[in-house]
Amino acid sequence: MMAHEFDNIGEAARLWAIRAQDASFADWEGLTDWLESDPRHLPAYEVALEDDAWAGQLFAAHTPVAAATAPAHYPPRGRWFATGGAIAAALVGVVSWTVVTRDAPRREVATAPGEHRTVDLADGSRIVLNGGTRIVLDPDKPREITLAEGEALFEVRHDARHPFVVVADGTRLVDVGTVFNVVRDGGAIDVAVADGAVDYEAGAQRIRLNQGDALSRPDRDAAPAVRKTSPEGIGGWQSGQLHYDDATLDQVARDLSRNTGRSIRVVDGAARMRFTGTLVLEGPPREVLARAGPLLGVNFAKQGDTWTMTPANARRR
């Protein structure tokens, strides 16, 4: 292999890394296609990201840290890519840096569908964002996070004098020494506690959720329902697994959309179907869906930019 070919790959990787840092960048499909087109591309891209991270850490080392640390806009590393004939998962979210001072405005941190990102807060707490997720950080309230949409796992450093609060659609989730997962989809909320406890507070309503408890509210006017779940399965999406216990396929479709970066919707009665089991997010999106279809009892079909889920026993038209 000629040296100039390696130089060209490295240059292309740096250009992709620079482009993807722009908040207006939207060509995730193009980036994915480039990464998957040659087994040398992903390592070169990772090197480009590490070079940028080194520069950012050098800058941050000379900047006083105040309320919280949140990622800048960086390209996804939580997506699944093919490398060297084997499927490798970059499951560790992009660790980047943005220093939030007390005079700074409220700041949003967002992920693209299929991307994972980790936010390390100054108090030792940690937030892992799933794909298609947006949170809001307020330097004046460093222990209060707004989940605007999507899914996040919170690993909270407990402080009884300064409770950690997650706000989702006006509902407050108050830490009682906790690891917990929260999904917000419009007015729908789902909370699952892996360790410790969380207080669900909506208006005058208070519900204590302990380890292994989960709460679902299908919309803001509905009564929340509490159920039991396996603590070990909570936040399994971080390691490429989605665990379900009698879940609707609507929920499964939303989870697959967040984790694969593909728009997925249910049609022709699939919304009434339910699923108990585990889906493995190994391989590129097409392979994930091909493997999930028989387990869910559906057929996946690509229609434009969207994948549809149709009951496998539905009559063909």
For 34-55, write each residue's pLDDT tens digit: 887 887 888 777 777 665 544 4
* Rounded Cα gap, residues 281 and 88, in angstroms: 11
State the average pLDDT over residues 204-223. 93
Note whether 132 and 237 are within 8 A (CB): no
What is the 8-class DSSP label of residue 218? S
**Tell me: the pLDDT tens digits for 78-137?**
333 333 332 233 333 333 333 344 455 788 999 999 899 999 998 889 999 999 999 999
Query: How far apart, in Å, are the Cα atoms of 197 and each of 7, 139, 190?
Result: 52, 25, 15
Note whether 261 and 79 are within 8 A (CB): yes
- Half-sphere exposure of residue 214: CA atoms within 13 angstroms, side-chain side: 20
Residue of 216 and 67 predicted with greater confidence: 216
Task: Please tell me the predicted confidence (pLDDT) of residue 31.
Answer: 79
**Tell me: the pLDDT tens digits for 157-209?**
888 888 999 999 999 999 987 899 999 998 899 999 999 999 999 988 999 99
* Rounded Cα gap, residues 275 and 137, in angstroms: 35
Q: Where are the domains of the chain?
A: 241-311
Is 60's pLDDT higher than 70?
A: no
CATH placement of domain 241-311 = 3.55.50.30
Please tell me the pTM assigned to this model: 0.64
- Half-sphere exposure of residue 136: CA atoms within 13 angstroms, side-chain side: 12
* Rounded Cα gap, residues 147 and 129, in angstroms: 10
**Average pLDDT of the chain?**
79
